[in-house]
Every structure is written in C-alpha cells, then in structure tokens.
A and B are shown apart, each in its own frame.
Chain A
C-alpha cells in the first residue's frame, strides 16, 4: 500500500516539476498545486497506512481496542489542504491580475521590477 502511494507521489512530483519548468506562470501555478497534493500524500503515507481500521474508541474505553489508523497525519493533511487552498486562490488571482495588467504570462517578459540593462544584464 505504501509502495503504491509512493509511486503515485513520484509520478505526481515528476509531472509537477515538468509543469513548473515552463515559462508560462499559469503552468507553474498548476505544477505548484499538483506538487502540494503530492506533499499531502507524502505526509499521509509517512503516518503509515492502515486501511479499514478507523481510529474510533469504543464507548466506555480510554484507548482504542486494537491497532487503528493514525489520525494525526490526517489532521495535518487537512490543515495543509485548507492553508494551501487559501494560498493558491491568492496565487491564481495574482496571476490573473498580472496577466490583465502586464499583458503576458511569460516569466521571461516580466522584467518591470528588474529592467534589463540597468543592472548590467
């Protein structure tokens, strides 16, 4: 099970690196979203996968009766998803606004803040 998830994470990271190497900023953001999901899966797998054993404590007991799935990585992933959602919503808005204002998504053409020539490049 861990191996399967690990392979999936590997494929996702490879795909996202490919996207992130593009000059188009929108593709970069898509790559970023993909790699953040790969990171979430990494946390999930790092917490050990124990399928079909929900972390429930029977009524009246203080601890789960048998070995159950680790709930903490799931909580971490949930937090990371929420934070990531906010950040990517902002990033996408920023990219859209940049496209409207600068008229380009090519990162090579975004040289307003660092004009060519002035800094000797």
Chain B
C-alpha cells in the first residue's frame, strides 16, 4: 500500500465525513477548505514522485497485480489529480461566500468532498471495473450537488442529467462485462496485452465502440451531450464551476486512457470515428453557444465545444496531437472553472446571469472585467494566454497529419468562440445596466469579496503563467504523451517489472520462432 497513491482518495473521504458531522456550524466549510488544501499538497507529492520515478503503482489489499485492485499513476493521472486539487481548493474557498447556510446544512461540503474523492479515484485506478465504481461515486455525489436546494429549474435539469448519465453507466457496465468475457481480466495494464490475443477482432471493436459511447456521454461529445446544457446552469455557482472543470474531463480522461492503452488494435477504424465526433462536437457546441443569451448557458455550450478539441488530439493519435490533448485538458479545466466563478460574481453584484438583464460591469467593476477577459481570451485562444498554445499544438498536429479539414474546423470554431465571448463582454460589461444600477464589487461584504475574488484571481494568474511560460508545461505534456503512446512502462509498473519485461519479450520472441 502506497500512501502517496492512496492519500488523494483517502483525504477527501475523511474530510467528507468530518464536514458532514460539522455541517451545522462554520467548522464544516473550513474543514472543506483544509481538506481541499491537503488534497492539493498530497497531489503535489504524488506528482513529484511520478516525475522522479516514472509510473507508480500499488496493489490494494496486497493481492498481486491482475487479480487485486491496482492504483496506478502515470504523468497524465498525476497531473489530473493535481488539477483536481487546484480546482477543488479554488471552489472550496469560493463556496465560503457562495453557498448559503441551508445548503451547507443539507451536506453541501460532504457531497463536494465525495465528488473530489470520486474524481481522484477515477484518475488513479488501474482496474476497469473499479473505474466503473469510481464513476458511480462521482455520479451520486454530483446528483446530490446538482439538485441541492431543490429549485424548480434544478429538478428539471436534474431529471435529464440523472437519466442520461444512468443510461451511459449501464452501457459502460455491459461493455466491461463483455470485455471480461473475451479477455478474462479487468486490470487495464493486463488488458493491454490480453486484447492482442482476442481471436474475434470485430467483437473487440464493437466493445470498443460501446466504451466510446459510454464515455462519450460522460464527456458530452456530439451527439450525446444534451444533458449538459440542460443542467449545468441550474445549480449553485460553485457546483457549476466544479462540474464544468472536472466532470466532463473525467470522461475525456477515460477515453484517452482506454483508447491509448487498450483499444489500439484497430486505430484506423476507432480513431476515425473519434475524429468525426471531435469535429462535430466542436461545431455544434460553438453554434449552440452562439444561440444562447445567458452567461452560464453560453459557457455550458462552450464546454461541449472545447471537449471536441481534446478528442481531436486523441483521434489524430500522433505524438504531437496527444501532447496537444494533454495540454488542452490542463488549460481547459482551469479556464472553464474560472469563467463559471466569474459568472457567479457577476450574478451577485449585477443581479442575474441573463445577458439582457445585466450590464455596466466594466465601468463600475473594472477588476471583474479584467478577471473575465483573461480566461475568456484564453478560451478563445488569444496569444499569449494558455489557450493559444493548446490550440496551436493541436492545429499543427492536424496539419502534420494532413487532416486539413479538421484544422480548418478548429480555427473557425476558435473564431466563433471569440464571437460568444465578445457577446458576453458587450452585454454584461459594456452596455449600461438596463435598470440603471451601478453594480460594484465594493457592494459585497469584505469577507465575501475576498472569498470570491481570490480563487478567481489565482486561477487567472495560473492561466497567465501557463501562457507566458509554456515551455515546462509542453515538456511535461511531451513526456506524458510518450508514456501514453508507449504503455510498456505503465504495464511494467502494474504487473511488476519481471512479468512486464516478459510480456514485452513475449511477442518479440514469438516472431523469430514464427520465422524459423
């Protein structure tokens, strides 16, 4: 048992229990902040270990690899856990001012921490059935958070969110069952080798597509994204932000993991589907956003559109494209969570998220304007912010792969993203407030102001850091992509060096024998 690997899961669970016990007092919310900070520290330690020593794996309960449940962290898992820590801490601080006492009493902080535990668990597990279990942990916590408070819109959005996610869950479960029936193993590293020996490649591709659809619903890709714009604008802003940042990205992570580690037997077929999905996801997301007139609903559709870029990186399946996908996921989580947090402040001081009902923020709250512009321009891909480098790498990768049409789609969608962002900018910041109010940040109590603006400013600063010094992040993404495209280290770490080497040597030895 490795504490560095297990602590990102144990810490949020322990915090959840404590926060639930103290849900009636102010202790609960501070416990949540402390727990999130501890998670960030734990994830940093994990990252340091993975960076120094390569893939880290541990067997829970002491059962040897393909039989017991494995926790494993490669660079992608580690960076996802770090990002979970960062967003978790930012939202926990923001929730100090955003979540009212009634929601706290209903257990907001406990559910929030369980959600973080589920997300970290999904990133760290090395077993595909265990991944299903973590998805469920995450899902049930997100159900609770989404309808907490029980407003009519929340119930309405909640029904769609719950039902469509349950369908995807059942599909995932059946796919796991069929995959087990074909290979006899559930360990993802073991599956990497086992799928090579399946004698019915057609059935394997069918199961691969089942996984694609199941994770596609979670990741909100075209044409499976309808639950997302139906629900993400209804809960509290803290909840919207953590959902927008993390939940769909767990789906993307699962797609990346499964389609780089397991289903690489028929790349020409599966990854071509993914390429089409990526293009259509980008386009529908951005067009949906263009039709919206609400701060949060525009942002929700943009999540869909941005997911397309990440899938694009996976679909092209070249080293540079995977670098782009990893870089894009990291950049996107920070930026997207931040935009939802900004929307929360705009609602607090201007009274609404409906763009027709607010305005004048630039004149009276210029700081908020600046804090909106940084993530918004980054999302649209303005140099030198983080989104520019992410898009640049992906477009370059598509041109290198001679997929000119997808490069064109990516660029046009970038332009349309600017259109949506300028629409928010024009309506919420430039035009005068329709009721003649002058929304000011100083209207907020000083403590609330600090709790709301410090996380936003920190995430914006992080966006700028990635934008101005992309070099270390690109180097990181390159190492991570190399690990993803050559899973030998991952397999070796999970199954033990000896059997990993044997598995590698196996096909190598078989070839000369066949030749003789």
- Residues of A at the B interface (CB closer than 8 Å) are 20, 25, 28-29, 32, 35-36, 38-40, 42-48, 72-73, 76, 79-80, 83, 86-87, 90-91, 94-95, 97-98, 101-102, 107, 110-114, 118-120
Evaluate contact between B180 and A46: CB separation under 8 angstroms.
Answer: yes
B244 on the A face (CB < 8 A): no
- What are 6 contact pairs spanning A and B, CB under 8 A? A35-B170, A43-B180, A46-B182, A90-B143, A102-B155, A113-B157
- The prevalent SS among residues of A at the interface is helix
Given contacts A90-B143, A107-B159, contact A46 B177 (CB under 8 A): yes
B400 at the interface (CB under 8 A from A): no
**Which residues of chain B are within 8 angstroms of A91 by Cβ–Cβ distance?**
162-163, 166
Chain B nearest CB from A118 CB (Å) reads: 7
Rounded to whole Å, the gap between the CB of A57 and the closest CB of chain B is 15
Interchain CA distance A108-B160 in the complex, whole Å: 11
The interface residues of chain A lying within 8 Å CB-to-CB of B156 are: 98, 102, 110-113
A40 to B182, CA, bound (A): 16
Which residues from B are CB-within-8-Å of A111? Answer: 156
- Which of B180, B230, B234, B292 meets A73, CB within 8 Å? B180
Of B12-20, B145-153, B269-277, B494-502, which stretch is located at the interface? B145-153
As a 0/1 sequence over residues 127 to 138 of chain B, the CB contacts with chain A under 8 angstroms (1 = contact) are 001001100100
Interface string of B472-509 (1 = CB under 8 A from A): 00000000000000000000000000000000000000
| Contacts A76-B176, A101-B152, A113-B230 known; 11 new A-B pairs at CB < 8 A | A32-B167, A35-B167, A39-B171, A43-B176, A45-B181, A46-B180, A48-B181, A90-B140, A101-B155, A113-B234, A118-B293
* CB closest residue in chain B, given A28: B163
- Shortest Cβ distance from residue B133 to the other chain A in the assembled complex, whole angstroms: 7
Contacts of A72 in B (CB 8 A): 180
Q: Is the CB of A43 within 8 A of B174?
A: yes
The minimal Cβ–Cβ distance linking A53 to chain B, given in whole angstroms, is 17
Residues on the A chain within 8 Å of B230, using CB: 113-114
Assuming A79-B133, A113-B231, A120-B291, is B177 touching A43 (CB within 8 A)?
yes
A111 to B152, CA, bound (A): 10
**Contact, CB under 8 Å: A86 / B140:** yes
Chain B residues whose CB sits within 8 angstroms of the CB of A43 once the complex forms: 173-174, 176-177, 180
Interface string of B390-424 (1 = CB under 8 A from A): 00000000000000000000000000000000000
B451 beta carbon closer than 8 Å to chain A: no
Contact in complex: B180, A94 (CB < 8 Å): no
Q: How far is the CB of A33 from chain B (nearest CB, A)?
A: 10
Q: How far is the CB of B27 from chain A (nearest CB, A)?
A: 28
Q: CB within 8 A of A102: which of B152, B166, B173, B292?
A: B152
Q: Does B324 lie at the interface of the complex (its beta carbon under 8 Å from any beta carbon of A)?
A: no
Contacts A47-B180, A90-B143; is A32 near B129 (CB within 8 Å)? no
Residues from chain A with Cβ under 8 Å of B152 in the complex:
101-102, 112
Contact of B159 among A20, A40, A73, A95 (CB under 8 A): A95
CB contact under 8 A between A36 and B178, given known A101-B150, A113-B231: no
A94 to B163, CA, bound (A): 10
| Nearest chain A residue, comparing its CB with the CB of B159 | A98
| B residues near A95, Cβ cutoff 8 Å | 159
Chain B positions within 8 Å of A, measured between CB atoms, are 129, 132-133, 136, 139-140, 143, 147, 150, 152-160, 162-163, 166-167, 169-171, 173-174, 176-178, 180-182, 229-231, 233-234, 291-294, 297
| Beta-carbon contact of B140 and A25 below 8 Å | no
Q: Cβ of A73: which chain B residues have Cβ within 8 Å of it?
A: 177, 180
Complex Cα–Cα for A72 and B133 (A): 15
Task: With A94-B159, A97-B155, A113-B157 as known contacts, state yes or no: A80 contacts B292, CB within 8 Å.
Answer: no
Which partner residue on chain A sits nearest B293 by CB separation?
A118
Q: Is the CB of A90 within 8 A of B162?
A: yes
Partner of A80, one of B140, B173, B181, B233: B173
- Pick from B166, B178, B292: contact of A46, CB below 8 A: B178
Establish whether residues A94 and B169, one from each chain, have CB atoms under 8 Å apart when the complex forms: no
Q: Which residue of B lies closest to A88 (CB)?
A: B166
Closest 6 CB pairs of A and B: A46-B181, A43-B177, A113-B157, A112-B156, A39-B174, A113-B156
Note all chain A residues with C-beta closer than 8 A to B132. 80
Instruction: Report Cα–Cα, A46/B180, bound state, in Å.
Output: 7
CB contacts (< 8 Å) of B174 on chain A: these are 38-39, 42-43
In angstroms, Cα B230 to Cα A86, docked, is 24
Residues of A within 8 A of B140 (CB): 86-87, 90
The residue in B171, B174, B176, B234 that gathers the most chain A C-beta atoms within 10 A of its C-beta is B174
Shortest Cβ distance from B329 into chain A, in angstroms?
A: 27
Bound together, the chains give a CA A1 to CA B356 distance in angstroms of: 63
Q: How far is the CA of A20 from the CA of B163 in the complex (A)?
A: 10
A32 and B181 form a contact (CB under 8 A): no
> A87-B140, A98-B159, A112-B152 known; A76 and B177 CB under 8 Å?
yes
| With known contacts A114-B229, A120-B291, A94–B170 Cβ distance under 8 A | no
**B139 contact set on A, CB distance < 8 A:** 87
Question: For the complex, what is the distance from the CA of A35 to the CA of B177, rounded to whole Å?
Answer: 14
Q: How far is the CB of B303 from chain A (nearest CB, A)?
A: 16
Most buried by B among A28, A47, A111, A112: A112
* A47 to B179 CA separation, bound complex (whole angstroms): 10
Complex CA distance for A20 and B158, rounded to whole angstroms:
17
Q: Decide: A29 near B229, CB < 8 A? Known: A46-B181, A97-B150.
A: no
A88 smallest CB distance to B (angstroms): 8
